[in-house]
Chain A
């Protein structure tokens, strides 16, 4: 679960894995490559899911 003042977001396993890879050093592309290797899905398809997720988190102040 991702927690912030006055809110919390329950993450599924994939979302949690994507977020755990956000270390400030990896690029989005590198994160998607990593997830692709881990979950056996095409990296481009993963990027289609991950980008809107990251954008939504950034808009809500949950990801810098």
Chain B
């Protein structure tokens, strides 16, 4: 077993305040603990394990002033490096320099297809600058992926997103529905689309995928809350990817450290190869021994690996349960109730986690019976 992808979350800081941010709710209490040399060493250790893909993400990776040194080390190691960015703060000169240093590709987010609503969702004026960044990416000659996270407020704009990707000359368009973890779980009732809107958006996206085949790769990721079988989350726990968080934890995914009771090692304390092979947290949900019914005997267990461990924990309180989006899960009613829960106002990502009892649209309440605690910090 070898990892193929290293997801480097260089910082949790970000100029945007998207209400579906996947960063932990307590992001503001975690600090950028890794030095430039720590990151470069992590890249070397990852490459030695077999990693070929590097996702530079966050938060906003451009906020690290040593991004150049990290990109240069990735290029020296011949890693395929993707900058996953809001586009802020960036100048044409800095982007050109990153390309010269060997940055391989750019994934640029937009929050919607229109300036006013994109800025509203992002919580800050950013849309016009993003359009400028897209032009720079193409002028400099880097492959461009346009990312738009989908939810109730922008799902009707999928056709406009396709047109935007075509006009930009993007090579890829990623239309991924919100994954309801982190801030998105707090905002679930505000973000959850209804079935009709989802079906309409999917139809448009699939038609665009066929029409643009060979020119633009169009991806449409269905929200798993509206599926009846779970996703193969991360292609399985500790199977393909390693994520290193800004505070230095090596994790199987971006939310694994929100599951209490697991031990994750810090890359400052232990070589990445040891952590990958022997780390307690990485081994917690590898293979099938941890599974209980219905996963244990399910003929899909080798394909979906029981779904998302973090979702299982945050909805049922036990990370070893089947992902409750699965119709076979005894907790599936938590998900089906959330599909049609009454809409709630959006709360932007903030420095402080939204506390239950603050009047926030927290998903955990009496009528869903789901879990009340915000994501816990690791030990």
The count of A-to-B residue pairs whose CB atoms sit within 8 angstroms is: 33
Q: Indicate if the CB atoms of A5 and B214 lie closer than 8 Å.
A: no
A60, B209: Cα distance in complex, Å: 10
Query: Which residues of chain B come closer than 8 Å to A60, judged between CB atoms?
Result: 217
User: Is B216 positioned at the interface, with any CB of A under 8 Å from its CB?
Assistant: yes
User: Is A23 positioned at the interface, with any CB of B under 8 Å from its CB?
Assistant: no
User: Is A45 positioned at the interface, with any CB of B under 8 Å from its CB?
Assistant: no
Query: Which residues of chain B come closer than 8 Å to A6, judged between CB atoms?
Result: 53, 82, 145
Q: Indicate if the CB atoms of A5 and B52 lie closer than 8 Å.
A: no
Highest count of chain A CB atoms <10 Å: which of B52, B53, B213: B53
Q: Indicate if the CB atoms of A5 and B216 lie closer than 8 Å.
A: no
Q: Indicate if the CB atoms of A5 and B4 lie closer than 8 Å.
A: no
Q: Indicate if the CB atoms of B213 and A5 lie closer than 8 Å.
A: no
User: Is B247 positioned at the interface, with any CB of A under 8 Å from its CB?
Assistant: no
Q: How many residues of B contact A (CB 8 A)?
A: 17
Residue in A1, A5, A8, A59 whose beta carbon sits within 8 Å of that of B143 in the complex: A5
A1-20 vs B: 1/0 string, CB under 8 Å?
10111101000000000000
| Minimum CB–CB distance for B365 against chain A, Å | 36
| Minimum CB–CB distance for B213 against chain A, Å | 5
User: Is B172 positioned at the interface, with any CB of A under 8 Å from its CB?
Assistant: yes
Query: Which residues of chain B come closer than 8 Å to A4, judged between CB atoms?
Result: 80, 105, 143
Query: Which residues of chain B come closer than 8 Å to A3, judged between CB atoms?
Result: 52-53, 80, 104
**A8-B105 in contact given A61-B214, A61-B216 (Cβ < 8 Å):** no
Residue of A nearest to B82 (CB): A5
User: Is A58 positioned at the interface, with any CB of B under 8 Å from its CB?
Assistant: yes
Highest count of chain A CB atoms <10 Å: which of B4, B80, B171: B80
Q: Indicate if the CB atoms of B214 and A59 lie closer than 8 Å.
A: yes
B180-224 vs A: 1/0 string, CB under 8 Å?
000000000000000000000000000000000111110000000
Query: Which residues of chain B come closer than 8 Å to A59, judged between CB atoms?
Result: 213-214
Given contacts A5-B143, A59-B213, could you give 9 more A-B pairs where the C-beta distance is less than 8 Å?
A: A3-B53, A4-B105, A5-B82, A5-B105, A5-B172, A6-B53, A60-B217, A61-B172, A61-B214
Residues of A at the B interface (CB closer than 8 Å) are: 1, 3-6, 8, 58-61
Closest 7 CB pairs of A and B: A3-B80, A61-B217, A58-B214, A5-B105, A59-B213, A5-B145, A59-B214
A selection of 9 A-B contacts at a CB cut-off of 8 Å is A3-B80, A4-B80, A4-B143, A5-B105, A8-B80, A59-B213, A59-B214, A61-B171, A61-B172
